[in-house]
Amino acid sequence: MTSSSTVLRSDGISMSFGDYKVLREISLDFYPGEIVGVLGPNGAGKTTYMNLLTGALRPTDGSVHLMNEDVTAFDTAERCHRGLGRTHQVPRPFLGMTVFENVLVAVEHGRNEMPDDPVAAAWEALEETGLSHVANRRGETLGLLDRKRLELSRALATDPKVLLLDEIGGGLTDTEGDDLVALVRKIHGRGVTIIWIEHIMRLLMETCSRLVCMAGGEVIADGEPQAVIDSPEVQVAYFGAAA
């Protein structure tokens, strides 16, 4: 595939905080319909990379392209309007609002164009993530799994072309993790390209067609999941194997 067919691309992006270089010239292409897992040890730069893709941070060097448009100067809201959705590692619902109100806010403020029926669009996102039965509960009353589902509901409510998931598997039981895998596959079935940063490798191996491994602010492997896991660089950096 060529870069002209990408939905999201980072071109040599680097990020420094003072003299500390967190990311070093990361160039990655993401293609329509992929589910790409991103893994690496703590401190690898994964979340910083996601924040650069979504516009929460501006790179020191390099550029970000969404649908072949340079969006490096665009903030998070503008990138969201152009089809880039995300979840956060720690769910951030509006605690005093109902689940439905949380999602309706995303519909009304996260889309490039307001749908004819915002209420129906919000309800559709809730049904897709299995939250319609708690639509009238306040966000503060939800358990961890439902808060993560609400994160997904709000992201879906913005009608994303590309969805970035930031460690949504953390803290879940095995059964809840299985439910999450099924939900991610369901969302992918809508035609959404998914980039999933995750520490729980089982979830990525069961879901992703491609893995990217980062360490020390660099990409050390990118390809078919089992080949990435078996690579000597990943065995050393992620699993602590002897070099």
pLDDT digits (tens, 9 = 90+) for 130-153: 899 999 999 999 988 888 889 999
Question: In the prediction, which pLDDT does 2 show?
Answer: 46
Residues 6+ apart with CB under 8 A from 87: 148, 151, 152, 155, 163, 164, 165, 166, 168
Question: In the prediction, which pLDDT does 54 show?
Answer: 95
With tokens 């896991």, the residue in question is: 229
Other beta carbons within 10 angstroms of residue 81's beta carbon come to: 16
Query: Mean pLDDT for the chain?
Result: 91
Tokens for 173, please give them.
């039981």
Residue 104 burial (C-beta neighbours within 10 Å; 0-12, 13-18, 19+): buried
- Give CA–CA dist 118/113, Å, rounded: 11
Check residue 63 and give left, alpha or beta (phi > 0: left; psi -120 to 50: alpha): beta
Residue at 106: amino acid letter: A
Split at pLDDT 50, 70, 90, the class of 91 is confident
- Give CA–CA dist 199/105, Å, rounded: 30
Radius of gyration, CA atoms only, the chain: 18
> What pTM was estimated for this model as a whole?
0.90
Question: In the prediction, which pLDDT does 1 show?
Answer: 47
Domains of the chain and CATH, by start: 1-83+161-243 (3.40.50.300), 90-159 (no CATH)
Percentage with pLDDT > 70 across the chain: 97
Average pLDDT of the residues in 27-47: 93
Question: In the prediction, which pLDDT does 241 show?
Answer: 66
